[in-house]
């Protein structure tokens, strides 16, 4: 766990400047890069790849300017512990998605049907998988990277995790077919991912959780955060109402996800995570 958090005497102006510069670099990169990637690979590729590169740029520059550290020090060092934590995260993300979607299929509350005129193939599967991976990495860098860790160092653990999770959910409010329950569950995932970083001391555990969940949903033929990502030629059709299916937003707007989130927290609390050193959480805050 972090050695010191919530240190008194930290300058609010310096903290605001660091976060402001961090966000500025991200927004600037997103504005410049999104049209380029969208022109090359379409809308989904544009927002995903520009988000990933924008997060990498903002984290890398902030780490160099303010901390004299490298991008890898934000939680990207690769070693055996990182690989293990990634696998633990993947198991949790994939398992929790299956726990939401498999029981309705087994009890007849949903069924999988062929999609007329669908043309998904292996190239589509690989393309969407790569974009989902970059999307998960980009969001975790942005929301659990430099800005998050600096706030945690100054404000404390849960005083950072909860507000950032609320912001994480709020930025999903513009997604297609968003609902209050979808935002509640998204905030829950934000708390979970913040707790994952706290447990592991790296970004690999939250990335594994995030990507494992996002990767599994399209395999069942359901939407991910309001977006349809067709990787098979099948879709999941529900006989249960939107409270259980999540409607057009997908399972993240379902009460089933709310219940499984509690199980996922328990899993993460007990999982054999390998703790790593995270420089930003162990360094003293500036005064």
**DSSP letter for each residue of 243-266:** HHH-GGG-GGGSHHHHHHHHHHHH
Q: What's the pLDDT at 7?
A: 47
Q: What's the pLDDT at 3?
A: 39
Q: What's the pLDDT at 82?
A: 97
Per-residue pLDDT in tens (0 to 9) along the chain, 287 residues: 443 444 444 688 999 999 999 999 999 999 999 999 998 888 889 999 999 999 999 999 999 999 999 999 999 999 999 999 999 999 999 999 999 999 999 999 999 999 988 788 899 999 999 999 999 999 999 999 999 999 999 999 999 999 999 999 999 999 999 999 999 999 999 999 999 999 999 999 999 999 999 999 999 999 999 999 889 999 999 999 999 999 999 999 999 999 999 999 999 999 999 999 999 988 655 54
Q: What's the pLDDT at 284?
A: 59
Q: What's the pLDDT at 283?
A: 64
Encoding tokens for residue 195? Answer: 């707790």
Encoding tokens for residue 14? Answer: 């310096």
Q: What's the pLDDT at 286?
A: 54
Q: Has this prediction a pTM greater than 0.95?
A: no
Q: What's the pLDDT at 9?
A: 46
Q: What's the pLDDT at 221?
A: 93
């Amino acid at each position: 766990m972090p050695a010191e958090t919530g240190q008194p005497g930290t300058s609010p102006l310096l903290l605001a400047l660091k976060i402001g510069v961090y966000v500025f670099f991200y927004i600037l990169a997103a504005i410049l890069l999104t049209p380029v990637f969208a022109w090359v690979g379409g809308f989904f590729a544009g927002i995903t790849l520009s988000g990933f590169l924008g997060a990498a740029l903002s984290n890398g520059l902030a780490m160099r300017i303010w901390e004299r550290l490298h991008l890898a020090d934000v939680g990207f060092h690769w070693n055996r512990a990182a690989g293990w934590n990634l696998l633990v995260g993947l198991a949790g993300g994939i398992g929790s998605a299956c726990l939401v979607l498999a029981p309705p299929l087994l009890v007849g509350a949903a069924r999988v049907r062929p999609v007329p005129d669908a043309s998904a193939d292996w190239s589509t599967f690989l393309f969407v998988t790569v974009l989902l991976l970059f999307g998960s990495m980009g969001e975790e860098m942005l929301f659990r990277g430099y800005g998050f860790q600096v706030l945690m160092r100054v404000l404390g653990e849960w005083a950072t995790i909860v507000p950032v999770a609320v912001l994480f959910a709020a930025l999903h409010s513009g997604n297609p077919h968003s609902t209050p329950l979808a935002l509640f569950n998204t905030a829950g995932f934000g708390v979970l991912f913040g707790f994952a970083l706290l447990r592991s001391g790296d970004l690999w555990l939250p990335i594994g959780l995030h990507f494992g969940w996002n990767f599994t949903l399209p395999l069942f033929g359901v939407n991910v955060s309001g977006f349809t990502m067709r990787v098979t030629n099948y879709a999941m059709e529900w006989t249960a109402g939107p409270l259980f299916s999540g409607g057009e937003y997908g399972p993240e707007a379902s009460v089933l996800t709310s219940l499984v989130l509690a199980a996922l927290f328990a899993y993460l609390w007990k999982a054999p995570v390998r703790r790593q050193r995270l420089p930003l959480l162990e360094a003293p805050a500036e005064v």
